Amino acid sequence: MSSTRDVVFVDGVRTPFGRSGPKGMYAETRADDLVVRVLRELLERNPGLPPERVDEVAIAATTQIGDQGLTIGRSAAVLAGLPKSVPGFAVDRMCAGAMTAVTSVAGGIAFGAYDVALAGGVEHMGRHPMGEAVDPNPRFLAERLVDGSALVMGMTAENLHDRYPAITRERADAYAAASQEKAAKAYADEKIQPDLVEMAIRSADLGWGLATADEAPRPGTTTEVLATLKTPFRPHGRVTAGNSSGINDGATGCVLAASDVAAELGLPARMRLVSYAFAGVDPEVMGIGPIPSTERALRLAGLGIGDIGLFEINEAFAVQVLAFLDHYGIDGDDPRVNPYGGAIAYGHPLAASGVRLMIQLARQFAERPDVRYGMTTMCVGMGMGGTVIWENLNEEAK
């Protein structure tokens, strides 16, 4: 093909996110079953999409072993009842796994290799703790390729506090409390529920149940409460469980299509992919990754930061979001930033989170036809950042 095609975000859903561990709601639920539920829901919500028209299924997982292994994009597609002719693959870019699944299949759609694709991610951090079965090469430390703190995400956040002394613990706690407050309001206003898919869960002790809402949010969190929390990564540090995302289980998924194919099938085109970029930074300060990836994505789109009317920034740590905002001269309480709250409240099941950002941005675009461009961006373990810029396709936004 001599030219590329426009790629549109048709729809996205996710399971409620659970707290990891033996008391979490998904403790006895398989990771692949979470993905299967998401894929089936996407097909049910979009009856105009014949399953045989799906050309690819890309699913991300950071720990690709056990029930997150076996090329989960393919295995989940088969388990979800898609035709055996539909291929699939697995993706790993740590926290940006689902984001990379989206950009990978979007490139195929733009090039003409696919018409329609499903993309998403899953992480069951209760079954597969971050770093499980990893064997880091000793050369990383022996040859001083990275600082030892680079392999512990909380320590990289403390390093970021060192680099940006104006971002105090008090600022981080205030941002975290605001995230919880915004998430509580979003739930009260029923902004989150339309894109959640109920998930059957079981417990050997309690029997069967139904997951209908995120387990992690802590409504009513105050800065006074956050100030009492310990700093596990450094004595007298600034990073706590309260101003960081949690350890979570969950899955996300979305439908992407060429714009002309979406029109042919009668599928909604909620937003158009404008540009995307990934960038590398020093692994010991991985939280600054979204800054260079955003600069590159903006340059590729021919836009400036002032053109972005909505920001969905993954809140791995409050300090990481504040470093991004300070760089661009944006206030921490700017209403364009994470209007529904973020990962500090909802949780961060690693490879699944990128599509959660997109789901929330698409919902906000529908409410804000006056906004033309929005952004999803996140930091990534081992020193990376990822950014995707989207255009609102609601009529008034064009």
For the chain, the maximum distance between any two Cα atoms, rounded to a whole number of angstroms, is 60
Confidence check: pLDDT of 398 > 60: no
Residue 314: Cβ-neighbour burial (10 angstroms; 0-12, 13-18, 19+): buried
Distance between first and last Cα of the chain: 27
> What phi-psi label fits residue 245: left (phi over 0), alpha (psi between -120 and 50 degrees) or beta?
beta
Concerning whether 128 is annotated as a catalytic residue, the answer is: no
Q: Percent of the chain having pLDDT more than 90? A: 93
DSSP 83: -
Choice among 124, 128, 161, 348 that is catalytic:
348
pLDDT at 2: 58
Choice among 128, 161, 254, 379 that is catalytic:
379
d(C-alpha 304, C-alpha 321), whole Å: 19
d(C-alpha 29, C-alpha 316), whole Å: 25
pLDDT of 119-174, one tens digit each? 999 999 999 998 888 899 999 989 999 998 988 999 999 999 999 999 999 999 99
Concerning whether 161 is annotated as a catalytic residue, the answer is: no
CA atoms within 13 A on the CB side of 75: 17
Confidence check: pLDDT of 247 > 60: yes
The pTM (predicted TM-score) of the whole model is 0.97
Concerning whether 348 is annotated as a catalytic residue, the answer is: yes
